Structure 1
Amino acid sequence: MGTADDADVPAFWQGLGLPGLADVHVHFLPPRLLRRVWAYFETAGPLIGTGWPIRYRESDAERVAHLRRLGVRAFSALAYAHKAGMAEELNRWTLDFARATPDCLPSATFFPEPDAQRYVAGALAAGARVFKVHVQVGGFAPTEPVLDPVWGLLADAGVPVVVHAGHAPVGTAHTGPAPFAAVLARHPGLAAVVAHLGAPDYAAFLDLAERYERVRLDTAMAFTPFFDRFVPFPAGELPRLRDLGLAGKVLLGSDFPNLPHAYAEQLAGLARLDLGDDWLRAICWGNAAALFDLAG
């Protein structure tokens, strides 16, 4: 993909012979909360650390329409709780959103609180197919004892959870590979998707994906000029990234709509790696299609 223009995105996946794109790292939130998130990004809040203008400041309907024009045939609605008492209501909203938006994977979240196991079980019963948890924003250790039965529930259900466990953009006491590695040691069957390839500790999170059968990574923001300024992916790890992608372990993520650049930048960055069309086909569709049983 030579340019980073959204108008060129359909030609990109059509040239690979794909039915479209599957993006595991997309955010849809209740409008008031989303506006607050955007304000936090754009004012360089403490957990952002840099100016981060939001490119896609449209309504839910307009953003869904844009994804469809791009050819994104399956996407998530990742919401994440940053304090106790909000996850269950977020789950109601995101699950309702998915019911009204057939190409959206029913999505849910949780927080370390006494009733987390109950409402996670409820979300699973309601059809949740992917969860999101944000260790950095939530400010909690993934090893919190109250979360242990939640991780176990998700491992038993085989439902993936997208985990922002890495230090980027700003590290906290509970981010980095060690805390989440402790979760995996206790729940080795957990179907985890490490957001942002685990930036900046790429090598350590690649190790976890190699060690645990059901651990994967998403590409959100990686290999874009914006992200490369701060946390560039080490060239020496590209062979492992290629092998893991071909083994079903790397999924397309974008972080749409919370982007300071065009959606196409994500795809252009992946194409620039020159890891082969088979790799691109796996990342952009095949791996997510297998994980979520998407129709071709």
Structure 2
Amino acid sequence: MGEDVTGAEPAEVRRFWRRLGVPGLVDVHTHFMPERVLRKVWDYFDGLGPLTGGIEWPIAYREEEARRVALLREFGVRAFTAMLYPHKPGMARWLNGWAADFARRTPDCLHTSTLFPEEGVESYVREAVEAGARVFKAHVQVGAYDPADAVLDPAWGLLADAGIPVVIHCGSGPAPGRHTGPGPVGRVLARHPRLRLVVAHLGMPEYEDFLGLAERYDEVRLDTTMAFTDFSERLAPFPRRALPRLAGLGDRVLLGSDFPNIPYRYAHQLDALRDLGLGDDWLRAVCHDNAARLFALPAGA
């Protein structure tokens, strides 16, 4: 585990949410995937792969799966996700099978699935929905695909009809791709305006463009993953002029962390949100209430 992570951190995180008067945190952007896949992801970060922007990115929570789950529970995270994603055809159905098993043995993990523009995508998305998937992950940057590709249209329509949120990495950070940015996702939403897209990382670095999509489409949400942290502010600072717009969307902003693949302590994300000065009501909504409502979580203790 990274040197900045201490045994005192769970108590620190718990103090944060207890002060807000919520029963814990709901983190919509955490990564669990088959161990050999996750190790390859970590190797990619260690090797400063092109999609990291060539930035030093030490993994703070480089732990075995059981310990990572235990840490989230120690932090008081009531519900979290298993964000996983294919980088080529033929992976998604296999990843979905793994994620369904992970959700069965990890009841506080929201059953997560994924997709890729390929033959059969509508079929396996339907299978995942019928198996109880509660959230999907799409990674436009890693998958290097156009989310507006016609082959995905039936899958987007199916997910829109089912009301299942899709956490989508579609911003151009930390490195742009051929199909990142607001344009391709905007074309998807024009065809499927009821699709519950959750824009990861607040759309970093095209923050204001993605705020605009959320203002235009009532079912679009944004997650806070890595936004406002010292790490991200050095690379892609959030424009302070846009804070009133972020405050105005307070019922559609969700806590995300990118745990375990973050180069700083989990608590730093929470502190960064607090330090925006948008108030405790906004923090309560972002850190718990909005996602608890979206995923119909039972009332907490």
Any idea what the Cα deviations from partners look like across 1:108-142, whole Å, max 9, x if unmatched?
Answer: 00000011000000000000000000000000101
SS at match of 1:229: helix
Among candidates 253, 257, 266, match of residue 269 of structure 2:
266
User: Deviation of residue 145 (structure 1)?
Assistant: 1.0
Identical columns (%) = 62
Residues 112-261 of structure 1 correspond to what in structure 2 (within 5 A)? Answer: 112-245=117-250, 248-261=251-264
1:22 corresponds to 2:26: yes
Match for residue 98 of structure 1?
Answer: 103
User: Deviation of residue 5 (structure 1)?
Assistant: 4.3
Match for residue 88 of structure 1?
Answer: 93
SS at match of 1:253: coil
Question: TM-score normalized by structure 2?
Answer: 0.95
Any idea what the Cα deviations from partners look like across 1:142-190, whole Å, max 9, x if unmatched?
Answer: 1111101111110011000001010000001100001100000010010
Distance in 2, Cα, partners of 1:295 & 1:239: 31
User: Deviation of residue 42 (structure 1)?
Assistant: 1.6
Distance in 1, Cα, partners of 2:210 & 2:38: 29
Distance in 2, Cα, partners of 1:281 & 1:208: 23
Distance in 2, Cα, partners of 1:42 & 1:225: 20
User: Deviation of residue 7 (structure 1)?
Assistant: 3.4
Any idea what the Cα deviations from partners look like across 1:185-241, whole Å, max 9, x if unmatched?
Answer: 010010110000000000010011011010000000001111111011100000110
Any idea what the Cα deviations from partners look like across 1:5-63, whole Å, max 9, x if unmatched?
Answer: 44300011000000000000001010000000001012110111211110111111100
Distance in 2, Cα, partners of 1:25 & 1:122: 23
SS at match of 1:127: coil
Match for residue 286 of structure 1?
Answer: 289
Any idea what the Cα deviations from partners look like across 1:51-78, whole Å, max 9, x if unmatched?
Answer: 1110111111100000000000100001
Distance in 2, Cα, partners of 1:204 & 1:38: 30
Letter in 1 for 2:221: R
SS at match of 1:47: helix
Any idea what the Cα deviations from partners look like across 1:224-277, whole Å, max 9, x if unmatched?
Answer: 1111110111000001101101xx210000000001001001101000001000
SS at match of 2:168: strand
Report if the CA contact (8 A) 2:167-2:197 is conserved.
yes
Report if the CA contact (8 A) 2:10-2:74 is conserved.
no
SS at match of 1:200: coil
Q: Which runs of 5 or more structure 2 residues have no equivalent in the other structure?
A: 1-7
Report if the CA contact (8 A) 2:223-2:253 is conserved.
yes
Letter in 2 for 1:257: P
- What root-mean-square deviation, in Å, do the aligned CA atoms of Structure 1 and Structure 2 show? 0.9
Query: How many residues of Structure 1 are paired with residues of Structure 2 in the alignment?
Result: 291
* Greater than 2 Å deviation, 4+ residue runs: 4-7
User: Deviation of residue 91 (structure 1)?
Assistant: 0.3
Letter in 2 for 1:19: P
Question: TM-score normalized by structure 1?
Answer: 0.97
Q: Which runs of 5 or more structure 1 residues have no equivalent in the other structure?
A: none
Match for residue 3 of structure 2?
Answer: none
Distance in 1, Cα, partners of 2:298 & 2:281: 19
Report if the CA contact (8 A) 1:6-1:263 is conserved.
no
Distance in 1, Cα, partners of 2:249 & 2:155: 27
